[in-house]
């Protein structure tokens, strides 16, 4: 009843996204440390994040954070609401739907500059 069912997938996704976000966190702590070496070093390192391939990594990070956050709420609801377990599968689908719904608009802002669309301002200001 468990293997291959929504419960196993939600658990596996929670784990994989959690580990992915943790890995990024450790890298991110190292990259912000570069700010202590002055504007030139930091601004140069920042250009990495403008790279289209690295933008795809950012998308994976954002999707992981959103899923992990919503599924975390689902886990807490199952823990503290006595009838929560009865709706675990419906809540899993709600988590997936919310993840996609909130991911799409955020993804637009992250990926648009690759196609020369800069909703946040001047495209020329963005080092690619």
Partner 1 sequence: MATRVTTNPKVSPFGTTPKPGAGSGAWETFSWYFFRVSGVALILLVILHLVIMHVTNDVSSTTYDFVAHRYANPFWRVYDLTLLTLALLHGLNGLRIVCDDYIRTRGTRLAVQSVLFLTAVFFWLMGTMTIITFQPGKTVAASILGLLHH
Question: Which residues contact partner 1 (rule: CB under 8 A)?
Answer: 1-2, 5-11, 14-15, 18-19, 21-22, 25-26, 29-30, 32-33, 35-39, 42-43, 46-47, 49-50, 58, 62, 65-66, 69, 72-73, 75-76, 78-79, 85, 88, 92, 105-106, 109-110, 113, 118, 120-121, 125-128
Structure tokens at 74: 């689902």
Strand, helix or coil for residue 128: coil
Least CB distance from residue 33 to partner 1, whole Å? 5
Which residue, among 66, 54, 125, 121, has the nearest Cα to 94 in the 3D structure?
66
Q: Which is nearer to partner 1, 15 or 101 (CB)?
A: 15
Smallest gap from Cβ 43 to partner 1, in A, equals 5
DSSP code per residue over 63-122: HHHHHHHHHHHHHHHHHH-TTGGGGHHHHHHHHHHHHHHHHHHHHHHHHGGGGT--TTS-
Q: Cβ 103 to partner 1, closest distance in Å?
A: 11
Q: How far is the CB of 97 from partner 1 (least distance, A)?
A: 17
Is the Cβ of residue 11 or residue 96 nearer to partner 1 in the bound state?
11
Count CB-CB contacts under 10 A for residue 64.
Answer: 22
């Amino acid at each position: 009843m468990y293997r291959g069912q929504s419960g196993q997938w939600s658990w596996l996704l929670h784990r994989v996204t959690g580990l992915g976000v943790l890995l990024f966190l450790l890298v991110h702590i190292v990259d912000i440390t570069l700010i202590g070496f002055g504007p030139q070093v930091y601004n140069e390192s920042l250009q990495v994040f403008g790279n289209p391939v690295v933008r795809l990594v950012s998308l994976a990070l954002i999707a992981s954070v959103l899923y992990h956050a919503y599924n975390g709420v689902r886990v807490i609801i199952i823990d503290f609401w006595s009838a929560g377990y009865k709706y675990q599968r419906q809540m899993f689908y709600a988590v997936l739907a919310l993840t996609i719904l909130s991911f799409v608009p955020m993804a637009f802002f992250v990926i648009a500059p690759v196609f020369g669309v800069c909703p946040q301002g001047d495209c020329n200001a963005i080092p690619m």
